[in-house]
Amino acid sequence: MDWYMRFNIMRERPLINRYKDNFAGIIVDAHVLESFAGATSRFLSTVKKPFIIDPVTYKFSTYNSLQLFSNKRWYPKLFTKFYDGIIEIKELNEDEDENEFLSERPAIRIEPEHFEDEKILKNYVNKVLSYQRTRVSEESGDLKIFEDLPQSTPLILIPPYDIIMKSINDEWLTMNVEFVKKAIQLKNKDEKIFPVIAIYKDLIHRDDFINNLVTKYNIDGVDGYFVWVSDFKETREDQNYLSNYFDFFRKLKSNNKPIINFYGGYMSMVASSTNILDGFSSAIGYGEYRNPFTEGGPAPEQYYLDLFHTNVPKDEVNSLLTITNHPRCNCEKCQIEDLEEIELMDSLEHLLLTKIKELQFLNSHNINQIKQELQNIIQTMEHVDEDHNLITHYRHISRWLEVLNNLDIKR
């Protein structure tokens, strides 16, 4: 299974570099690239790992995009790169005083109607693909002097996309598909195109919608899919959501292309180990789900507890380990007196090491053994937490098991 690591914060560089052998590639959002263009480009071109740039075009088109993002420093920069000469906006001049520059930010929300003209659509898709092809090498060009062969082109290109919110008739669905078709016409021989299929999570209950979606994205020339069920937190969703989540992946699998879950946790790892998915992505300690209608940001102080396959608040780690009699993590970073005092970067490294162990476990065990491990957790908790005082920390385990029991997985 392919594990793609998301990279958003500069302090994550040493960790990603240290554990890069475990990752199939690194995904960086275009707005992060624009915010820290030099540092991000230098990192991507020297880390010697394939990278992918997510164009995050939805940030210009969600209903609250202006309110959320238009005051960000990256907003006018990225807007200009994608829409300049396509959508009428005020002239932006970077030489101007910064405050003036920001006050003249384009305040327009992108809508499907903007691309009704075939030429505009083609121009737009080309701009978004070209951005991914050239942005890193442009910015890190001077590195070529002393680096043998800096990697400066992305592993996979992503056509522009909006999140599909409403229904089968969502105009963005039609437009997203047009973007994909155009991207395929514009791709070079050695390039791969993976569209992002981003849907509002309630839509996974709609069979008619999902069937139509799968058919519409069955496009010749597509090399795989990134899937994003928005705001889908695997530890929070009920059995109905979880089982429809898997159903969606399985239906899409009928198109015979690799599927990578763009934001996933332990259940996406399980799905990848059983070939329902081909891989997953997350950031270090966050990004296991994403709500496009909020600003997002790094996780609060947490500790990844392998027992529950999720994070728990740092100040509860000691009591949880004592109550459950679960062995303390033996990784290098956890060899401190009081785990609640673990430093942020150490807790993130611990999380990576724990996920690596989880992947090794999933890759070397069959589905019955994977389910048995979940069953063991439930039994332990029934024993030590009879009154269910701690149920909020592990309720998801029994939901996961129930959903996996109802799935017909052969492996």
Question: Where do contacts with Zn ion occur on this chain (CB under 5 A)?
Answer: 329, 331, 334, 350
Residue 177 or 334 with smaller CB distance to Zn ion = 334
Contact call for residues 35 and 139 (beta carbons, < 8 A)? no
CB closer to Zn ion out of 271 and 339: 339
Decide whether 199 or 334 has the Cβ nearer to Zn ion.
334
Query: Minimum Å distance from CB 339 to Zn ion?
Result: 8
Q: Please name which of 58, 40, 47 lies closest in space to residue 25, comparing C-alpha atoms.
A: 47
Could you tell me if 55 and 132 are in contact, meaning their C-beta atoms sit under 8 angstroms apart?
yes
Question: Residue 164's beta-bridge partner residues?
Answer: 199
> Residue 172: which residues within 8 A CB-CB, separation 6 or more?
61, 112, 162, 163, 164, 165
- Residue with smaller CB distance to Zn ion, 193 or 334: 334
From CA 124, how far away is CA 231, in angstroms rounded? 28
DSSP sequence for 310-343:
EEEEGGGHHHHHHHHTPPPP-SGGG-SS-GGG--
Closest CA to 32 of 19, 50, 51, 47: 51
CB-wise, 183 or 312, nearer to Zn ion? 312
Closer residue to Zn ion, CB minimum distance, 6 or 333: 333
Shortest reach from residue 371's CB to Zn ion, in Å:
25
Return the number of the residue (28 or 307) whose C-beta is nearest Zn ion: 307
| Minimum CB distance to Zn ion, residue 356 (Å) | 11
CB of 78 or CB of 329, closer to Zn ion: 329
**8 Å CB contact between 197 and 212:** no
For the bound state, the minimum distance from the C-beta of residue 355 to Zn ion, rounded and expressed in Å, comes to 11
CB of 314 to Zn ion, least distance (A): 13
The 8-class DSSP code of residue 201 comes to G
Amino acid at 382: E
Report, in Å, the least distance between residue 357 CB and Zn ion.
9
Closest CA to 393 of 303, 327, 325, 333: 303
The pair of structure tokens assigned to 173 is 């669905």
- H/E stretch holding 383 reads helix 367-384
Instruction: Kindly state the helix (H) or strand (E) to which residue 170 belongs, with its residue range.
Output: none
Supply 198's token pair. 């981003």
Q: Residue 260: what are its φ and ψ, rounded to 5°?
A: -115, 125
- In the bound complex, what is the minimum distance in angstroms from residue 321's beta carbon to Zn ion? 12
Distance in Å, CB of 315 to Zn ion, minimum? 17
- DSSP H helical ranges for 117-256: 118-139, 171-186, 207-216, 239-253
Give whichever of 75 and 304 is closer to Zn ion, judged by the CB atom.
304
> What's the closest the beta carbon of residue 15 comes to Zn ion, in angstroms?
14
Q: Assess contact for 128 and 135: CB atoms under 8 A.
A: no
Q: How many helices (H) and strands (E) does the chain have?
A: 15, 9
Q: Which residue's CB is nearer to Zn ion, number 182 or number 350?
A: 350
